[in-house]
Chains A and B, each alone.
Chain A
Amino acid sequence: MSRKMILRVPKFQEPKRMEKSEAQRLWLLLKDAIVEVQHMNASTLSFEELYRSSYSLVIAKRGDILYTGLEEVNNHHTKNLLDKIAQAVDERFLIELNSQWQQYKLQQIMIHDILMYLDRMYVKEPQLKVFDLGMFKWKQNVLIHSQINDRLVRMLLGLIHMERNGEVIDGALMKSLIQMYVDVSLKEKETYKQEFEERFLLATSHFYKSESNLFITNNSCGAYLKKVEIRLIEEEARIKQYLDESTGPKLIKACEDELIANHMQTMIEMETGCRTMIQNDRFNELKLMYRLFQRVENGLVHLKNEFAGYVRNEGHKIVNQPENLKDPNALITSLIEIRNRFEKTLSQSFANNRDFINSVNTAFESFLNENDKLSESLALFIDKKLRGGFKDSNDQEIDVIMNKVILLFRFLSDKDVFKKFYEHYLAKRLLSGRSFSEDLERTMISKFKQECGNQFTSKMEGMFTDMRLSKDALDGFKNYLQTSVEMGKLPKIDMSVRVLTQGFWPTFPPHSCTLPPLLSQYCDLFTKYYCHAHTGRRIIWQTNIGTAEVTFRLPKKTHVLALSTYQMLIMLLFNDAEKLSLKQMAAGTSISFMDIQRSVKPLYSGKYKVLKRTPAVEKSKELSENDIFELNLNLKCKLHRIKFAATSQTDSEPERQHTRQRVDEDRKIEIDAAIVRIMKSRKALIHNDLIVECTKQLSSRFVPQTSMIKKRIENLIEREYLERFPDDRRRYRYLA
C-alpha cells in the first residue's frame, strides 16, 4: 500500500518547507502560552491556534524544538515551585504542596491537550509522553528533592500516627498527597513503593508492636481480641480512604503479624485466654478468636490443637471418674453431654471447620478407648433405655439419643466387644420380657446395621425371628396338647417354651438339674411335638434361664411367687420337708452348689423373705453347705404376687469375664480368616506386611494385638495353612 501513496500524497499536500524563523516563532508562541497556563491565565488563549501551531511544527518535522523546549519550561517551572513550597512552614507546608500539586496536574492536562498532536505523532519511546514528562519533572525537582521528600513522609506518617491515636485528620489531603507518589511513578508505582509505602509499613509494624505488647499485658484476652478486630477494621478503612489499594494486602499482613501472629501463644495460654474461654463456653469470644487466627498462617492449627487437647482432657476425666466407672448410665450420659457441648462450640465458634471436627473426633476416639469398660457401659446404657428408659421421651428425643449412641459407638475401636455385650443384654431383655418396645429395639438395630452392615446385626435380628417363631411353635403345641391322647392322663399346667437357635443367642453356660416329673413329661411332649414338626432339629433344654410361678400357701394368706426355674425347684423341695440344708437342696435338684447359693440368696435376704436361716445368723456371712433353711411362715407382705431376683447381683464379674472370653475366641477366628484371606491373594508376604494388612482389614471391628496375630500365624503354620521360607524366616508362603 505504501508505495503508491507515497507517490501521490506529495502532489496534493507537500508541506512547504518551514523556515527556521517561522518554527521559532511558533515555538515562542507556544512557550508563552504554556507559561500563561502555568500561571493559570489560560482563558484568553485560543486552543485552536495553539493546537495548530504544535500541529504545524510536527508536520514540518520540527517536533524536536517543541519537545526539548517543553522539557526546559517544565524544568524551570518546577524549580520555581520547589522554592515556593519549601518556604512554607509547619502545616502550611502540606497545604501549599497539595495546592501547587493540584494546579500543576491540571496544567499538565491542559498542556497535554494543546500538544496532543505532538504527543501522538512525534513522541516515541524512550521519550516520555507529554503528561509523563510533566510528572517526571515534578518528581525530580519537587517531590524527591531533599527539601521535600523526607519532610513530607515524616509529616504524613505523623498524621497517620495521630489518627491511630484517635485524632481526626484531613483524609482528603492525605489521599491527594499520597496519590501524588502514585501519579509520579512511571511504572508499577515504583516511586510510591520506594518513597512512601516501605516507610509507612515499617511505621505501622512499629506502632502495633508496641501497642499490642502494652495492651495485652493490661487487658483480658477477650478485650484484646476486640481491640484487634477494631484495629483491622480501621486499617481496612484507611486503605479505602487514602492509601493506594495495592498497599492493602501488605498493610493488613503487617497488622496481622504484629497483632495476631506474634501473640497467638500468649492468647492461648494467658489466664483469660483460649483455655478459659473453652472452659466457660465463651462462644462469642472464641468465634472472634477463630476469625482472627484464621487470618494468619498456622493460626487455626494452634487453636485447633488447644481445643482438641481440652476435649481429650475433659473426656479423660470423665472416663476415669470413680463414680462413672461404677455407673455406666452416668458415664454415658456425661459423655453425651460433653459431646453436645463440644458440638455446640464447634458450630457456634469454629464454623464447623472440618479439621476441628476431625481433631475432636480423634480426641474422642483416644479417650473412649482408654478404658475397656466403655463397650459394656454403652451396651448397658442402651439396655436401660430400652427397658423403659425411653418411656417419657418423644420420638424425636429418642432419635437424638440413639444417634448419640451411634456416634459414641463409632469411636470404639473394639466394636466386637460392644456387639457381644449388646447381644447379651438384648437376649436378657427378650427372654425376661423386659423390652419396652420392639419397634424401638428394631430402630436401634437398624442404626447399627447402617453403620456396620448386615453381618454386625444378623444375630440380633435372628433373636427377634426366634421370638416370633417361638410364639407360633407354642400355639401349635397348645393345639397339639388338646388333640393328644396322652394329655388326658396329665394334670394341666401352663408351660411356655422359647426355641432359641444356637448361634444367634449368646451361649449360656450349660447347667443341669432334675425337673419335677410333671414338668419333665411336658418337656418331653414338647420335644416330641417340635421334632416332629421340624425334622432334623435337636432340642437342648436351658432350664437355668427360665422362670416359673408357684403358689405359696401360708396359714392365713396365699401368695404367688415369681421365681427362676432353679428357685422353683428349691421351693418345691419344701413340699416334703420342713428344714433343708444347702447340701440337701443340691442333692434334691441336681443343681450345682454354686447355683444353689446364688438362687437361695434372694429368697432369704431380700425385702420379702420366704426362707429363713436357722439358726439365724448375720446376713453377710458366707453360705456353707451345712447351713439350714426353713420356710418363713410369718411372711408379711401386702402384695399378692411377689417377684424375686433370679440370682444375687454379685454375679456380674464372672459373666463379664465370660463375655470377654467369648470375644477373644471370636477374635481368633476372625484373625485366622483374615490371615488366610490375605495370604490366599498374596501368596507370599513378609511378616510385618502381613501384620499391617491384617490389622487394617480388622480395624472396622476391633484392633487386634500384634502378639495375638503372631500366635495365630504360628497356629496356622502348625495347621499347615502357611509355611516359612527356608532361606528367609521372616517370609511366609500360603499352602493351598
Chain B
Amino acid sequence: MFYQDLKELSTNLSQLFTLENKQPVFSDFLVVTRNKTFECHRAILHARSAYFRGLLRSQMKETTEGKVEIRDISSEVMKNILTYIYTGSLEITRDNAIEILISSQKLLLDQRVLDNISQFVVR
C-alpha cells in the first residue's frame, strides 16, 4: 500500500517557521529584509531554492555570519515566499502577485510556481 499525507507534512513544517509569538525551533540561519528578520533553517532553504542552495554552499560571508540581507524584497513578500518554501502553499492576491512573481524568479523557485503565478496575473 502507499500512504501519503502532504497536508500533515505541510502543517508540521510550517510549525518550524512560525512568525508570531512562539520561538522558531532549531533555527540556524537568518533571512533579513529591510524591516524584518526571519529565523530559518539551512537544510530547508537548501532543499527548496536554487538561490539558497548556491548561497549556502558558497562559503562566502553569509555562510560564516549565518545570515543574508536581501534588500530588494519586501518583508511581506519574503514572508509569503518563505512560507511557500516551508509548506508548499502560496497565498497570492491581486496586490502582491506581481511582486511575488518577480521575487520568486530572482530566488529561482520551481518553474511551475512561476508559471502558476504568471497565469494568475494574466487573469
Contacts and interface: CB of A to CB of B under 8 A. Distances in A.
A116 B59 contact: no
Contacts of B50: 116, 120
Nearest to A11: B98
Contact of A43 (B59, B68, B99, B121): B59
A387 to B, nearest CB: 70
Output the residue of B51, B54, B70, B118 with the most chain A CB within 10 A.
B54
A42 B54 CA distance: 13
Contacts of A50: 60
Nearest to B97: A12
Contact of B108 (A47, A110, A120): A120
B68 A47 contact: yes
A113 B49 CA distance: 12
A112 B53 CA distance: 12
A8 interface: yes
A9 interface: yes
A4 B122 contact: yes
Contacts of B72: 52
B62 A43 contact: no
A114 B58 contact: yes
B35 interface: no
B106 A43 contact: no
B61 interface: yes
A45 B60 contact: yes
Interface in A106-123: 109-110, 112-114, 116-117, 120
A542 to B, nearest CB: 83
Nearest to A116: B54
A224 interface: no
A116 B108 contact: yes
Contacts of A113: 53-55, 57-58
A117 B49 CA distance: 12
Interface residues of B, number: 26
A551 interface: no
B55 A51 contact: yes
A219 interface: no
A30 to B, nearest CB: 13
A47 B54 contact: yes
Contact of B54 (A4, A8, A51): A51
A51 B51 contact: yes
Contact of B68 (A5, A48, A120): A48
B47 to A, nearest CB: 16
Contact of A42 (B51, B60, B99): B60
B108 A117 contact: yes
Interface string A1-30: 110110011001100000000000000000
A519 B62 CA distance: 129
Nearest to A12: B98
Interface string B82-114: 000000000000000011001000101000000
Interface in A98-112: 109-110, 112
Interface in B35-73: 50-51, 53-55, 57-64, 68-70, 72
Given A9-B98, A48-B69, A120-B108, A43 B64 contact: yes
A44 B60 CA distance: 6
A8 B99 CA distance: 12
A55 interface: yes
Interface string A219-231: 0000000000000
A46 interface: yes
B26 to A, nearest CB: 23
B64 A116 contact: no
A593 B63 CA distance: 125
B48 to A, nearest CB: 15
22 contacts: A1-B118, A2-B122, A8-B98, A8-B121, A9-B121, A12-B99, A42-B59, A42-B60, A43-B61, A45-B60, A47-B60, A47-B62, A47-B68, A48-B55, A48-B62, A48-B69, A51-B54, A114-B54, A114-B58, A116-B54, A117-B108, A120-B50
**Top 8 A-B residue pairs of the complex, sorted by shortest distance between their CB atoms:** A113-B54, A1-B122, A47-B60, A12-B98, A47-B55, A47-B58, A45-B60, A46-B61
Interface of A: 1-2, 4-5, 8-9, 12-13, 42-48, 50-52, 55, 109-110, 112-114, 116-117, 120
Given A8-B121, A13-B99, A116-B54, 12 more contacts: A2-B122, A4-B122, A5-B121, A13-B98, A13-B102, A42-B58, A42-B59, A43-B59, A44-B61, A110-B59, A113-B55, A117-B106
